[in-house]
Amino acid sequence: MRICMLISTPLPAREGIGFYAWNLAQQLRAQGHSVHIITRGERGKPGHEQVAGVTIWRPTFWPLYPFHVDVHSMFVAKVLRMLEPELDVVHLHTPLVKLPPTTLPVLVTVHTPMKTDAAAIPADTLLGWLVKLQAPFSVRLEQQLLARATTITAVAHSVADELAAYSIQPDTVAVLGNGVDTDLFHPAAVQPAAQPYFFTAGRLAPRKGLEDLLACAELVVAQQPAYRFLIAGAGPLERQLRQEVQRRGLQAHVQLLGHISDRQRLAELYRGASAYVHPAHYEGLPTVLLEAMACGTPVVATAISGALDVLDGSNGLLVPVRQPHQLAAALLKLIAQPNLRQQLGAQAVATIRARYAWSSVSQSYLRHYQSIIKERSV
């Protein structure tokens, strides 16, 4: 089968959707399928290249906000026209992608609908206002894309439900979930950290709940001063978070690690943590949450969106959103009950292997590709 994916995030991947598309592409390639990925052009990166058997295309991208997606789509269309005779299906990953003209069957995977995403970001900062101003343009693009899709999939049941706001019946959306590279992210013996820590990874951006994480950290270290909080990631809120760490006097307890490109090091950070903390205000189905679980790390997450698909109390703890006191209480509970940490970690691994290994998720995608290709040929 010959597949072309369209994404709006950079490659090599630096965040969830990029890793999602890349890992899926690797699984498909390993099973003998041909995969192209079209993304945005970046300064210093080749216009196209082949990496690990996948062909990456980076057509010209101009940051002409809020019309950048429309402008970029003209360059994407040129690449897609050239590739179309060699393709069987087009697979787009939202948000911020536009479907150029094509006669091929089209599968759209919705990671986070823009209506819900924008609503979850408060307009109390310049970045928040910019997101709100961009939202109508993004929603228009999304509505057009969904209307043209041959079939629509989602990463979580909550995301499927949210598509009702686009006049799409949730029961017509196939929920295929997210996946984990279980060859890389798996339990392994680790030396105890000299200073125990909790770990969080992801983009330093609105709706990630990082302000709640710092409030939680202050509460935890007041009772357990030996613990640290390590945060991996980069993004527009980095400066603000560093200022908040200083304001709260947490310099000795909170460390911002920046973006970690070494996936093996990331796996080691998961494994060494006393728990993985995911305080998001809104999310689809975060890759980092699944990776931590695959490593056997107990997780504490806010009871939102995709986390509700995965966690049931036996394989991780759920707490209400925007409640740092309850987040802290859950972490203190894990500190006090090492047996509970072990039980949650073991059940987390079982959950990932049963439902979220990429080997399984990729087969679901292949079945959907085959179905829409057959439907189009009838």
Do 296 and 371 lie in one domain? The reply is no
Do 117 and 24 lie in one domain? The reply is yes
Q: Is residue 187 part of a domain?
A: no
Do 237 and 341 lie in one domain? The reply is yes
CA–CA gap between residue 343 and residue 340 (Å, rounded): 5
> Of all helices (H) and strands (E), which one includes residue 94?
none
Count Cα neighbours of 263 within 13 Å in the Cβ-side half-sphere: 17
Q: Is residue 153 part of a domain?
A: yes
The angle at the Cα of 160, spanning 203 to 92, to the nearest 5 degrees, equals: 65
Q: Which residues of 16-37 are buried (b: 16+ CB within 10 A; e: fewer)?
A: bbbbbbbbbbbbbbeeebbbbb
CA–CA gap between residue 298 and residue 316 (Å, rounded): 6
Q: Domain span at residue 19?
A: 2-179+357-377
CA–CA gap between residue 205 and residue 237 (Å, rounded): 5
Q: Is residue 302 part of a domain?
A: yes
Which DSSP string do the residues of 233-293 spell out, in sequence order? ---TTHHHHHHHHHHTT-TTTEEEEE----HHHHHHHHHH-SEEEE--SS-SS-HHHHHHH
Do 156 and 51 lie in one domain? The reply is yes
Q: State residue 124's pLDDT score.
A: 65
Q: State residue 79's pLDDT score.
A: 97
Q: Is residue 305 part of a domain?
A: yes
Q: State residue 371's pLDDT score.
A: 96
**Token reading at 377:** 């040929």
Q: Is residue 190 part of a domain?
A: no
Q: Is residue 9 part of a domain?
A: yes
Q: State residue 297's pLDDT score.
A: 98
Do 242 and 330 lie in one domain? The reply is yes
Do 334 and 274 lie in one domain? The reply is yes
Q: Residue 171: CB partners within 8 Å, gap ≥ 6? A: none
CA-nearest of 273, 151, 99 to 163 is 151
Q: Do the bridges between strand 275-278 and strand 299-302 make them parallel or antiparallel, or are there none, so unpaired?
A: parallel
CATH of the domain at 106: 3.40.50.2000
Asked if residue 269 lies in contact with residue 202, where contact means CB atoms within 8 angstroms, the answer is no
pLDDT by residue, tens only, the chain of 378 residues: 999 999 999 999 988 899 999 999 999 999 999 999 999 999 999 999 999 999 999 999 998 888 889 999 999 999 999 999 999 999 999 998 999 999 999 999 999 898 877 666 666 665 666 666 677 778 888 999 999 999 999 999 999 999 999 999 999 999 999 999 999 999 998 888 889 999 999 999 989 999 999 999 999 999 999 999 999 999 999 999 999 999 999 999 999 999 999 999 999 999 999 999 999 999 899 999 999 999 999 999 999 989 999 999 999 999 999 999 999 999 999 999 999 999 999 999 999 999 999 999 999 999 999 999 998 775
Q: Is residue 184 part of a domain?
A: no
CA dihedral 209, 213, 215, 216 (to 10 degrees): 130
Do 298 and 274 lie in one domain? The reply is yes
The angle at the Cα of 117, spanning 115 to 122, to the nearest 5 degrees, equals: 105
> Of all helices (H) and strands (E), which one includes residue 361?
helix 358-377
Q: Is residue 188 part of a domain?
A: no
Q: How many domains does the chain have?
A: 2
Do 147 and 68 lie in one domain? The reply is yes
Q: State residue 27's pLDDT score.
A: 95
Q: State residue 115's pLDDT score.
A: 82
Do 232 and 315 lie in one domain? The reply is yes
Do 162 and 279 lie in one domain? The reply is no
Do 87 and 116 lie in one domain? The reply is yes
**What pTM value is reported for the model?**
0.90
Do 246 and 373 lie in one domain? The reply is no
**Token reading at 221:** 């270290």
Q: State residue 275's pLDDT score.
A: 98
